[in-house]
Amino acid sequence: MAALRLDHPNPRTALNWRTPFELLVAVMLSAQCTDERVNKVTPELFAAAATPEAIVKLGLARVRHLIRSINFFNTKSANILKTCKILIQAHDSQVPRELDALVALPGVGRKTANVVRNDAFGEAGIVVDTHVIRVTNRLKLVRGTDAAKIEAELEKLVPVEEWRFAAHLFILHGRATCKALKPDCERCGVAEICPSRGLKASAWKEAL
């Protein structure tokens, strides 16, 4: 991971947030949507309502209107309202840090849960999204596209103290250099140990 840290010394989510609840909502909104778009929407949303109680009081129609430029805003607004009600009723209006409790919330999968656990609570966990799937496959660290299997494989390869930052490093590398359609290999800081350029996969695994 040290090689990637040279290019990205401060790996963190690109989403803007102030509280665990704001981060949870922002990550829910980011599914199949860019972080940039989410960051344009959340200031107005959180100015209107920044707690579960305030979101519920705001109501579905108003939440839907405030996030209308987000992909799948109808489904996401409904899930946010359902999640807020569960947080109020079952968690004293607090975002839980336990993985099982997070994934039980409507619209929250392992990716969202791990982002919240990593960034809001400092808990170890490896986030797997499309960037992580693409980059780790190109680096021959994993095979396939099953997120749960990739998470388990990376947990075996990446030192536990790096779990919180691994996904951010892979995501940042995927966005800036190892792009989906045309990876910029000539400007890649880890090209000399990349098996997609003909090198052995063990070179990257040994560098983790």
- In the chain the domains, ranked by start, together with CATH numbers, are 20-121 (1.10.340.30), 127-207 (1.10.1670.10)
- Residue 101 predicted with pLDDT over 90: yes
Of these residues, 111, 119, 146, 149, which one is catalytic?
111
Q: Is the pLDDT of residue 203 over 80?
A: no
Average pLDDT estimate for 2-18: 80
Residue by residue, DSSP assigns 118-140 as HHHH--------HHHHHHHHHTT
Model pLDDT for residues 114-147, shown as the tens digit of each residue: 999 999 999 988 989 888 999 999 988 999 999 9
CB–CB of 72/52 below 8 Å?
no
Active site residue 100: no
Q: What is the pTM of this model?
A: 0.83
Task: Determine the Cα–Cα distance for residues 137 and 127; give it in Å rounded to an integer.
Answer: 15
Is pLDDT of 110 > 60?
A: yes
Residue 111 appears among annotated catalytic residues:
yes
pLDDT of residue 154 exceeding 90, the answer is: yes
For the record, the structure tokens of 205 come out as: 């695994």
- With b for 16 or more beta-carbon neighbours within 10 A and e for fewer, the 50-88 pattern comes to bbbeebbebeeeebbebbeebeebeebbebbbebbebbb
CA atoms of 80 and 30, how far apart (whole Å): 12
Tell me phi and psi for residue 70, to 5 degrees: -90, 140
Is residue 165 predicted with pLDDT exceeding 90?
no
Q: Report the alpha-carbon distance of residue 29 to residue 44 in Å, rounded.
A: 14
The per-residue pLDDT for 195 is 83
Judged against a pLDDT cut of 70, whether residue 29 lies above it is answered with: yes
- Give the closest residue to 158 by CA, choosing from 185, 135, 187: 135
Q: Please compute the mean of the pLDDT values over residues 89-107 and round it to a whole number.
A: 97
The pLDDT value given to residue 171: 87
pLDDT for residue 112 is more than 80: yes
Assigned token pair, 124: 């170890």
pLDDT (0 to 100) of residue 116? 95
Model confidence at 187, pLDDT cuts 50, 70, 90, reads confident
CA angle 111, 139, 151 (to 5 degrees): 25
Out of 7, 129, 140, 205, pick the active-site residue: 129
Read off the pLDDT of residues 169-180 as tens digits, 9 standing for 90 and up.
898 898 889 998
Mean pLDDT value of segment 40-53 = 98
User: Which pLDDT tens digit goes with each residue over 49-88?
Assistant: 999 999 999 999 999 999 999 999 999 999 999 999 999 9
Burial readout 14-27 (b: 16 or more C-beta within 10 A, e: otherwise): ebebeebbbbbbbb
